Structure 1
Amino acid sequence: MPDLQREIEARSLGLAQLQRTVLEITREKESLAATIEAERRGYEDKLKLLEQAKAALSDAFNALSANALKSNSQEFLKLAQTSVAPIREALEKFEGKVQALEVAREGAYQGLVQQVSQLLDTGRQLRSETSNLVQALRSPVIRGQWGEIQLRRVVEMAGMLNYCDFLEQETVRTETGTLRPDLIVKLPAGKTIVVDAKAPVAQFLDAMAVADEAERKAKLQAFARLVRDRVGELGRKSYWDQFEHTPELVVMFLPGDHFYSAALQEDPALLEYGVEQKVLIATPVNLIGLLRAIAYGWRQEAIAGNAKEISELGAELYKRIADLGGHWLDLGRNLTRTVDAFNSAVGSLESRVLVSARRFRELGAASGAVDIAAVEPVEKGPRSLKVLDISTAAKD
């Protein structure tokens, strides 16, 4: 029984210990539950705060985004306006210029149409006038007048008209007949050159009027033969024997370079033949060069004449300067004699007249009168003039 009693007491102590343990666990549970509840409420509060912060942040972000977008839009619009304004002005100016160009183009097109129409009319008139000219040049009289006009024009371009050193249509009678050169060019020192402008160009005009190549070739060959014949005829006339101081040559003038070119193409030896016949075939270009060389000779002649006149004037001026130098020398000598005479008069005045006059004042007869000033002689003489060499040279 005692053992049972002890066991019961031991179990009672164990049960009491378990109850205390349970009570402590219960208290810890309640404490933990309270802690968990407090933490849960804290978490809920924090979650609410997070949600509120999220909502506030979202609102703030949305507001900031809208403001930034608005600000950026305004800045972009300002920048766009600033950047686009010059482009818009340039486009407006460009549009204005395009419109002006379009108006000008339309006006130019109308003007071009008118000019083309006028050009067509001018072409028709030119063809008609050319045909009339060709027909007119077939007349020997008209052809000769045209050659003379061309010759005068060449002389004008060469500057020979100002010197009046040419004569047209001068007739020279000889034992064998009458010679009529178209131009006599006067050279310095009394020389002359004869120019003949009666060139046979009718065959050339006929050749240019035909379309058949073979017929044209034949007419050009006939033209070259006529030119050669004219060269021989001028050589036989011997113009240089009929005019004094004329070189042994005569100039045959062709009124266009194309005439000479066509003749040389058909007769390459024409130039050598002209030299043999003492005939110089000249086109407007060649004759202008020749006449300008002659005009240069006339200018040199005028310069030489002026130089001679200048030399004569220089000699006359030198003589006159020498005479003037002699006159100045005579004037200097007269001035020296005048100074000497003045000084002699001063000496005589001082020694013979003024000494006695001053005695009146010393004797009181001229009280209150002004003192008689002393008269000084002239110490300077005229400057010598070095013109003896000039005078001597003038006398020589």
Structure 2
Amino acid sequence: MNKIFFNSNKFIFAIILFMVPVSQASIDIYSPSMPHIVNGLNTTESKVQLTISLFLLSLGVGQYLYGAISDSIGRKKSLLIGMFLFTISSLACYYSTNIEILILARFFQGLGAASIAVLSKAVSVDLYDGIALMKASAWVGLIWGVAPIVAPVIGGYLDEFGGWRLSFLVLAIYGFISCLFIILFMPETNKKFQKFNFNYILKTSFIILKNKDFMGSTLIIATTNLGLFVFTLMAPFLIQNILGKSQIFFGYMALVIGSIYILGAFLSNYAIRNFESDKIINLVSKMLLLIGIIMVFVSFLFPKSIWVLMLTSSLFAFSSGFLYPFLVGRMFAPFQNIAGMVSANYGIVSYTFSGIISIVISCLKITSLIEISYAYCLVGIITYLSMRFMFKFSFK
């Protein structure tokens, strides 16, 4: 009976869900500490923000690599390699003595975290299909949203009582436990191994990338997720440096945003059964564009309003969680037999895009809510254009 349980799809999926928060936790757990890292390493805000931007870039590149090799060497080996790298690089972050070492360690930490970011989707496709896959994707999105809720609050207290380095030690322990779970309990889920062929990978990637459903879905996910990253990148400096609140206060503000994200992911389970996905994607994309534009005007009237910040951030977070299952189902539908490659291309497009845009955003010197409103408006514009591209201007 125990052997049957440990090899059941539900148990395997539970292991995956345990590791899903890794990529988000690696961003959000130390976000309350970012102003203190500036002082601790004698550096600048923009350089500390680069620790997130380069993490996102390597997260994207890494997903392409893991997705490609997981179809040939298996999900288990690929995931173990990634989580081991994540554990070692988290320790390197903990021992960093200057901002350059921290940025480099964060780059490799992103490469490690990429394994679960991409393979959570691939393993879901290995285990489920159809409506069951959409429900599994909703659970992945739901658990992914746990990190923005829990990590900043934990990070705020860790910084308060042990300094900013302690957060990275916690991540290293998390990675080590994940490695043990993979070694001891996780079987191989890939039943259709593909021989590794570089030319095949490039050819398959081209086929995937030119599919409008894949590209449109990926860009919408990337931009709505970027709305979450805007809060992580910019809000700590507004809330702590300008408004004079503590890192623990910021942690609880991030908890609210994460809770709204989870609410969106939870409600999507019901919307999947009752509404057409195309109409939902179209409507929410238009709403985000409108919200972004309105925030720019409102921010000039209330440049230091935490209420405007939280309302806008909450709306973007809700939309991100709500749209995710609709878009993942649409993304994978034409490519069920090459889930690893689809996940790989999703990762490199989505997170590389987010990383590049976040580097641009980090150039903004945060003096008020106005700079943050520009970032949210940009997210709304790109989301809307991505939707129009995906539907080929079919909506009037």
Q: Identify the TM-score tier after normalising by the shorter chain.
A: under 0.3
Structure possessing the higher radius of gyration over alpha carbons: 1
Q: Structure with the greater relative contact order (CA < 8 A, sep ≥ 6): 1 or 2?
A: 2
Please, what TM-score do these two structures have when normalized by structure 1? 0.18
Please, what TM-score do these two structures have when normalized by structure 2? 0.18
* Greater share of residues in strand: 1
